[in-house]
Structure 1
């Protein structure tokens, strides 16, 4: 069977692969987009979209309870919440994504793509695609499963099962205090499940400032989650009526389902990297334009989780724009600049990665969360206590942190924790990316009465 030739072959049709393919097609290239599961990928069907659909009703109910005079009930209608989630995911129907690809001038291809040679991808049905200019790997990441005695005797939930379950489990165990663990623990608790969350430290979200983990811990407990801190899972047993979890320290919990949320790893093991002499069990190392550094000829690119740089959908799509534009420009014979903050450089991966944890309270962060070692950086911490937050909810609890480069007078990072702070994140991102000087930021007057008044309080606390 002869090879079919394209300018670019993209492996993986999640949001990252779709954007990379679209940008390359916009640059005038003939693009094949290969996907073995659903076009739209993890985010659309098993991650970002369904998880937020599960979280939002509970957050809204909690917010309503903080507002006197609002007529509310005490519980969610789980059936309607799950139905709304299914509407957003289309119950797994990706036909709309396939039609979008065709409309964008991209050839959607169903099959499992594997690199089989230089500029060559072979599908599981034997078809061979040759790429004139580039192969772009956008295969995302897969869950990491720890080695725990007895875990192989049950069918634990991963993030996919946690976001796509059709019934509320009576008792849910959650292992892991990262983003997936805390979001799903709170979502299912508010839908009526008795949730036991097992974390290794004193608080969840260990990569964020301690006040973030403390406030989220309070929110989890308020939602009815039983949090086992400084703990772990030592063994799993199948028992009558459920699964018994033996925790480190001697405690035991019986659950109906167990969600293992202990991190993710780049999905590189089955895409043919061995053919190129590359490791198959780690991230693809790329330069700022997304080109895989270890492959001669400059034809292999990667973007998103598979690079291990920033495992977030929006950051992967950002990198995909860089990759698609870089491939198209180089195909036209252009010399491109990968200097920081140029169009062909994914500089933000290193300096300004925005993220949101959609629990109640929400946690948002961009840039640095701590001062750099040996630097003159200054950390400013304050409560979110402004007229806007007081009107927003009775008893509003929130914290804000700003990390400042005192030598240049610019913001290096911002963290907000509190109800509905996610919408504050982009202003922080602009401040960090734009390196807006504090003396100029002082003139960005926040509207009254809004929670964004916290910006004024941060600057005042700094001394302006």
Structure 2
């Protein structure tokens, strides 16, 4: 970049999936866009989360599936080939190089500035570049904050010197520790416990509460995953808090973990997966009257509500609505269209499910936990429906009773739950647990987002014999209970 000052219609801070898509969509709306990033283009998802973690988990899940298929069990005896797994992980993380992402950004005519970007008053962004140069950017219409999140560490004695793992250390690991302590019971904790137990670690999970694993999902999901982890050899402890950690004898020494019951354990590495904090501590929020380090509260068009004149948008994890890559990309598509429409003085279509409405954030957020068994969900849980005051019919079904499940694996164990709004007779929540259920999720998402009535679903015929036939069995169960489906 030559010169010290530039103007664009839209300036985007952060080149993760949300930032990339926001820049792309505003450019597609006819606006000039620039994106500012001080790490790798593609962000957490491409290099330290979604891509490398699923690369570690794919052979784990595939082996588990194969062991349940008659005729394949003997073919998959023995341990996983750890160097081959790591090599595949490296490939999927593109060896932590972002040239492909840079080429894509260029192909959609979005400019890139590498450096640390900070707000410096309304519509102003100052970028400190690696070569020491400073560039000032002015946004004519909007600044989009897409800086994501960072690991949230608890305040524990000795933690800094114990060199704990974050998700980045786990997904980019160069070795498999003999003993791995995992603190937390959410998605990152579950997935990394699943991966490293299968790769050869003795995993101990330390979960502070008594609600179980994956406590934002249906309780049976966490229960089934915990049972599977224990069956694989992991030690899963609930109601256990860490009070201190210490690694006293150098980088290669074990770490001692003190617990609130007075007990302690020793591990070679300790992974903290206890939550995320907004990556907003050093992006200049104080220059526009906001508090550094806070989540950014937005309205349904992703405008930050506490900023006058409506020029600041927050998209993706940083707004704390739904901390998932695909949802951040969805938000970016909506926000990009909103910014484009406002720049042209066009009216917004902000009706429910309209082109400028963020309806899916509250009604149809899909999520997959790549554990063994897999967990897939979209929409509301039973607990959330109750809190919202909805009267729902809860329909449960044993997926193992479906013919396609028996074909998928011997002794298939899985469970489905569908929530049907008793008044509107539409599906408002779906949870599947079991092998292969990740591939059922899009159909469930379409059902929830389309607000299809169950009478119409009766005519959506699932192919036989596939696991998707569970939809028919759920409708039959609902019919037999209520007598209201043909």
The TM-score bracket by the shorter chain reads over 0.9
Of the three residues 364, 370, 386, the one matched with 1:372 is: 386
CA distance in 2, matches of 1:2, 1:359: 49
Q: Normalising by structure 2, what TM-score? A: 0.93
CA distance in 1, matches of 2:88, 2:111: 31
**Which has the larger displacement, 240-249 or 349-358?**
240-249
Describe the SS at the equivalent of 2:386.
coil
CA distance in 1, matches of 2:100, 2:273: 30
CA distance in 1, matches of 2:152, 2:320: 14
Of the three residues 411, 430, 447, the one matched with 1:395 is: 411
Equivalent position of 2:220 in the other structure = 211
**Which has the larger displacement, 20-29 or 194-203?**
194-203
1:220 aligns with 2:229: yes
1:449 aligns with 2:465: yes
1:292 positional shift: 1.4
1:61 aligns with 2:75: no
CA distance in 2, matches of 1:303, 1:324: 10
Deviation per residue, 1:317-376 (Å, 9 max, x gap): 000001111111222221223222111111110111000100010011111111424442
Equivalent position of 2:97 in the other structure = 93
Of the three residues 39, 42, 45, the one matched with 1:40 is: 42
1:34-433 to 2 correspondence within 5 Å?
A: 34-70=36-72, 71-124=75-128, 125-202=133-210, 203-239=212-248, 241-370=253-382, 371-373=385-387, 374-384=389-399, 385-433=401-449
CA distance in 2, matches of 1:141, 1:168: 26
1:77 positional shift: 0.2
CA distance in 2, matches of 1:456, 1:212: 21
CA distance in 2, matches of 1:175, 1:190: 18
Q: CA RMSD in A?
A: 1.3
1:238 positional shift: 2.5
1:411 positional shift: 0.6
CA distance in 2, matches of 1:90, 1:30: 29
Deviation per residue, 1:187-242 (Å, 9 max, x gap): 01111111111112342111111110110001111222111222121221325541
Describe the SS at the equivalent of 1:218.
helix
Describe the SS at the equivalent of 2:84.
helix
Describe the SS at the equivalent of 1:413.
strand
Deviation per residue, 1:275-310 (Å, 9 max, x gap): 110122322111212111221222111100010100
1:2 positional shift: 4.8
Contact 2:4 2:134 in 1 (8 A): no
1:13 aligns with 2:15: yes
CA distance in 2, matches of 1:50, 1:168: 15
Gaps of 5+ in 1: none
Say how many residue pairs are matched: 464
Q: Normalising by structure 1, what TM-score? A: 0.98
CA distance in 2, matches of 1:286, 1:243: 41
Deviation per residue, 1:350-405 (Å, 9 max, x gap): 11100010001001111111142444212112211210001111111111111111
Gaps of 5+ in 2: 480-484
CA distance in 2, matches of 1:273, 1:366: 34
Equivalent position of 1:30 in the other structure = 32
